[in-house]
Amino acid sequence: MLGPRALRSKLDRIRSRVDGRPAPTSRSVGDAVDRLEESVVRHLAGHEAESAAAARLTRAFDLIPQGIVLADASARVVFRNRAASGFVDARHGEALVEAAMSDLVALAVDGVSETRTIDLFGPPRRAIELRAGPLRADPDADDGQVVGAFLIVDDVSERQRVDAVRRDFVANISHELKTPVGALGVLAETLAGEDDPEVVARLADRMQLEAFRVARTIDDLLQLSQIESDVVGERAAVVVDDVIAAAVERTRTAAEVAGVQVVAPSVERDLLVLGDRMQLVSALSNLCENAIKYSEAGDQVQVLAERDGSWASITVADSGVGIPTRDLERIFERFYRVDRARSRDTGGTGLGLSIVRHVVQNHHGEITVRSREGSGSTFTVRVPLLDTPSEPSPEPLAASRRNP
């Protein structure tokens, strides 16, 4: 058994280890025990502070949308934030991401940095980018000892989609303007050396057509720019029946030329929404024009509206060529066309459905599409109903004018 002096000496040595300071001379065992207790308390307090800091750091990492994975020198994962944890025990396509994460961590602990993109075909379609690299004891030394690995998981789907839309926009607007402008140059050159009045008249008509095509593209771009800025004109109570009537009247000529009948039964006059009448008419006109464009002569386009709970539901249905499933996700993008050859023949700008989408968003509504290739398409726009009925918008169009 240790005597008081020996016990006091050992307690002092323990205290100096815990506290990190030399042990002073002690007069009694009790004093040594008291000092040891103080040292242990300080050590535990420091440990609690470190734990609290680690918890705060973990919560901060969990708020980061990218996944973060840390591994030790043996490639064993020691930390995942919330975003990265979603791939643990994943199934289907996301299991490929987890497998790629393991591969990249193994490479990283061997000193190899690598980036890999995994395409998940969904639905919805996603692109996951993985970036891994080694953690070295000396961060400034490229060939220092590897003590672990880090990996970042980033969902780049939206970035890739925006890049694709930007590329398509530049390519398509260049084509849309270059084609008619080039045609105008050729026609003007031909017209300059032509004496036959009939040929001159024919060339002049064609020049007017090409000029109209350029003007329409520019007008649609300006309209889309205004609508995309979430600018809605003065909001007022709008009668849905009037919007449908105005849209059908606006597309009457196109329907007659295509030999397509647009049928739009009258809707109850108390079906009201709060919004910008001009934008709503523009959106519905684009849907009607789109349906007419992709219908065959003798086909019928139906425009129906009904009260759906707290929503006004407007449907434009055709029995035309339909939309392939692979294109459904992109039809609302600017200039995107399902059938480019048909669009060139009908003179569309490819901006109509993009305008529709932004108008619906500006009115806090939603738009859906059901379609099958060869069996037609059905677009449904839902806009919140007006809570308190107000004065209807003036100058309603007669129902008889809505059946060309």
DSSP 84-103: HHTTTT--TTHHHHHHHHHH
pLDDT at position 17 is 57
Q: CB–CB of 251/262 below 8 Å?
A: yes
CATH number at 67-155: 3.30.450.20
Same topology between domain 67-155 and domain 159-229: no
Spell out the domain ranges in the chain: 4-62, 67-155, 159-229, 232-402
E strand or H helix at 360: helix 352-362
Quote the longest CA-to-CA distance of the chain.
Answer: 130
What is the DSSP code (8-state) at residue 232? -
Q: Which of helix, strand or coil describes residue 221? A: helix
- What local confidence, expressed as pLDDT, does residue 27 receive? 54
With CA atoms as reference, report the closest residue to 368 among 334, 324, 329, 336: 329
State how far the alpha carbon of 54 is from the alpha carbons of 26, 139, 150, in Å.
Answer: 37, 22, 18
CA nearest neighbour of 367 among 289, 312, 318 = 312
By the 8 A CB rule, do 280 and 238 touch? yes
pLDDT of residue 302: 93
The rounded average pLDDT for each run of 10 residues, N- to C-terminus, in the chain (404 residues) is: 57 57 55 63 65 75 87 90 82 82 91 90 83 86 84 90 78 78 87 86 87 79 70 76 92 89 90 90 91 90 92 92 80 68 53 86 91 88 75 41 46
pTM of the model: 0.53
The topology (CATH level 3) of 159-229 is Helix Hairpins (1.10.287)
From 131, 79, 82, 83, select the one nearest 107 (Cα to Cα): 131
The pLDDT of residue 397:
40
Phi, psi at 109, each rounded to 5°: -70, -15
Superfamily of domain 232-402: Histidine kinase-like ATPase, C-terminal domain (3.30.565.10)
Question: What is residue 398's predicted lDDT score, i.e. its pLDDT?
Answer: 38
